[in-house]
Structure 1
């Protein structure tokens, strides 16, 4: 007689133990009593952003499959029941059990949250992931999030973002003076140091705002998502890189008390599902951005790097902003110091192998 666990139990054990490092879940533990739970998960992203909104759908599907449908997570679109800006507050208060989006949504509450997403001139995507998963960041941020009634699991990374869409090319720092630029987070504070005028324009309204000249420029995400907005038709200069988000880490947010009350098997399954989604999101962007960039250029987008002068000035402004925040917020200082130390070590390694290899291969591609 075959003594191996049933197929569904094997899948549960794989989900809990093999997808991202969660502790292995033995089949007998899965077979124990599993209560029926119904949770709601609010997304910060509209459904047309299929990678980002789809991350929540994927998590809900994996959890349902691993629990024979006994743990159901209903995915809500933005505005159901709260807009993206209020998502973390809704989770913290228990209005909904979960949310998916960037920690920077709560930076107004505590600027330390911005560090968990992406910081201007912070870590790249691999560095941000490594810091969270293996560099101690999850524990450091866990202490901060707990103060606000939250706990978090990794929920994807967009990779380095683009610098945005402009009607006129930025050739010097002076070109940013008075520029009405759609940008949020700490990047807005950095751009303001140039004399730019940051605007909090919602994503669906960017095209109309550029077309009517209510704004002069706008950053969004990257080629695959930017293509959906058609911005090359009204602001054809496509600057890069988005130095304010070198690797935007997203999270699944859980109400701390409700997460603590979950059966251990459900917590482990949820962790495993989140880690699988986390890996899938960046893989999708890496696979789809190249084709989207080709299509955007064919449609009129003009790629332009930010001048070195702008990059250097932005780095100085960013460090000034961080110094001022750190002087008022001990948590921010502690986390920022830890990030800088980790970033320096990462680039020590990257410059030896990763950068050298990539640089050679990029040049080889250019030679055909």
Structure 2
């Protein structure tokens, strides 16, 4: 059941609470000594209970603290503590806070390629395919160019699949078309075009919507993030294939704040994010295997596969949406051109 996910792991190669978590360990404070200490704030769109809070947000904060000998200190703020999720990008852009941890789903009004970055629906079947597109075919650089024009540095946290949870299995495209699904970003449009009725709502509202029948299913990351919101208490079916594979979370940094860093710290920041991407992507895939095994064993979650007619419709809609995304900017057009050429080389051309 988890064969494809395990293959992903083997194929990858290369990396109060908030007040307490934001404190600088005494050892690092002493190491900083007489050197200038730079203090930044980071607003995240995820709650503290999310797995990516500790393994991505806190992990990067701690790495930068250690590698700069305490000279770069980042104060962390979880979801909605300073700004709501849609306000993170403009806050970083204006320098109100120096850093953000957010989703490309909230950046589409600023960065035209962000829809494709959130997920390229109907494109990739496995993580390694997306990795090759991101790094070897230069997709992330196209996104970063547009972000830089908006005054922001952009670093993908990790790549992983976005997968749905459903309250009941579906046996046909007709049944799927009767569902109401929580969606976000380009995937909201994707779900609607495939046939279901897609509606947006913030993460904290998904559990209530599922439990009361307002929606029949939802996506919130993969199994780890869905479990962090307790979605499997009310929706026992985890759905394959994924809606899309992409960089669902990203770190963004205000350009001016980055430029004002001492050269050595700026270099440490950049290399840390590069390393973190590879290690975190690899780590996340293994954690997905662990989580799904646990959910199946302990909570009775069942991994199901969508019928062939729904999958076929997903591939068709994916091509249609990519053509629409290509119209948004020169970089988006180039990204889609590279992607279609790549998919053709994988034997998935029209």
Same fold flag (TM > 0.5) = yes
Q: Is residue 56 from structure 1 mapped to residue 29 from structure 2 by the alignment?
A: no
For residues 77-96 of structure 1, what are the structure 2 equivalents within 5 Å?
A: 77-96=78-97
Aligned counterparts of 1:284 and 1:142: Cα–Cα separation in 2: 24
* Partner SS state of residue 213, structure 2: coil
Partner of 1:156: 158
Correspondence for 2:308: 308
CA distance, structure 2, for counterparts of residue 108 and residue 197 of structure 1: 23
Q: Is the 8 A contact 1:210 1:217 kept in 2?
A: yes
Runs (4 or more) in structure 1 with deviation over 4 Å come to: none
Q: What are the ranges of 5 or more consecutive residues in structure 1 without an aligned counterpart?
A: 1-18, 21-30, 349-368
Q: Which residue of 1 aligns with 2:28?
A: none
1:125/1:249 contact within 8 Å kept:
no
Q: Is 1:118 aligned to 2:119, yes or no?
A: yes
- Quote the residue 1:12 is aligned against: none
1:37 is displaced (CA, Å) by 1.0
Aligned-CA RMSD value: 2.6
* Shift of residue 268, structure 1, vs aligned partner: 0.9
- Is the partner of 2:201 in helix, strand or coil? coil
Point out the more displaced range, 289-298 or 56-65. 289-298
Q: Distance in 2 between matches of 1:324 and 1:133?
A: 23
- Which moved further from structure 2: 229-238 or 303-312? 229-238
Could you tell me how far apart the structure 2 residues matched to 1:238 and 1:61 are?
Answer: 33
Matched, 1:340 2:345: no
Matching of residues 236-255 of structure 1 within 5 Å: 236-243=236-243, 245-248=244-247, 250-255=249-254
* Mapped partners of 1:143, 1:51: distance in 2: 26
Q: 1:58, 1:277 within 8 Å by CA — same for their partners in 2?
A: no
Please name the residue that 1:10 is paired with.
Answer: none
Change (3 A) 1:90 1:178: farther
| Cα separation, 1, equivalents of 2:278 and 2:194 | 36
Paired residues for 1:187-206 under 5 Å: 187-206=187-206
The C-alpha deviation readout for 1:183-231, integer Å capped at 9, x for no partner, is: 1111111221244221222222222211111111112222233233333
Deviation at 1:34, TM superposition (A): 5.4
Structure 2: runs of 5+ lacking an equivalent: 1-13, 16-31
8 Å contact from structure 1 (residues 180, 197) kept in 2: yes
State TM-score, norm by structure 2.
0.81
